[in-house]
């Protein structure tokens, strides 16, 4: 029995994809303009953020303790970790609840657990070619010089007085 358990555990560890690979793919899917892809991606990203939100507390506490004075670094890391954990938990909950809304891609949090406010580094997926429309042509030009003075206005004719009778 122990041998089977060990064999299954080793197979899972070897066959499982790294967490960063799945996290990046889920984030790409959640930013998709196609509704079906976005729906699954937002559910996955939301679940991933809700489940891994406590990791922010541990990661930030350890990193700040290493980089600063022991007590001050620990308290700073704990505060930063709690803030990022709550932010990641809230982002995940919003992703799960609003995954069905077309055109809304949620409030993504960074992929990195070191700094939850950093940009994710994942570019949104480009829209499919059949859904894209040509960009409208614009002729907006910024002026390079000051505008010419307005022409002098001629005097307007005197208003005509009308007499109203019943």
DSSP-derived secondary structure for the chain? -HHHHHHHHHHHHHHSPPHHHHHHHHHHHHT-SSHHHHHHHHHHHHHHHHHHHHHHHHHHHHHHHHHS-HHHHHHHHHHHHHHHHHHHHHHHHHHHHTTTSTT-------S-SS-TTS---PPPPPPPTTT--PPPP------SSPPPPPPPPPPPPPPPP-----
Is 104 a residue whose pLDDT tops 50?
yes
Mean pLDDT for the stretch of residues 86-111 = 89
pLDDT at site 137 = 56
pTM for this model (two decimals) = 0.58
Q: How far apart are CA 18 and CA 90, in angstroms?
A: 24
With cut-offs at 50, 70 and 90, classify the pLDDT of residue 161: confident
Instruction: Report how far apart, in Å, the C-alpha atoms of 94 and of each of 49, 109, 110 are.
Output: 10, 11, 15
């Amino acid at each position: 029995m122990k041998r089977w358990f060990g064999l299954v555990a080793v197979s899972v560890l070897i066959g499982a994809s790294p967490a960063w690979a799945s996290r990046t793919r889920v984030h790409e899917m959640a930013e998709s303009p196609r509704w079906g892809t976005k729906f699954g991606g937002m559910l996955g990203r939301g679940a991933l953020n809700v489940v891994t939100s406590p990791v922010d507390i541990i990661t930030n506490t350890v990193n700040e303790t290493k980089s600063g004075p022991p007590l001050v670094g620990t308290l700073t890391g704990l505060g930063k970790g709690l803030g990022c954990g709550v932010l990641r938990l809230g982002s995940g909950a919003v992703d799960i609840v609003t995954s069905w809304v077309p055109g809304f891609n949620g409030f993504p949090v960074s992929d990195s657990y070191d700094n939850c406010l950093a940009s994710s580094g994942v570019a949104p997926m480009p829209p499919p070619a059949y859904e894209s429309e040509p960009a409208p042509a614009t002729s907006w030009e910024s002026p390079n010089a000051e505008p010419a003075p307005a022409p002098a206005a001629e005097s307007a004719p005197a208003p005509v007085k009308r007499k109203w009778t019943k």
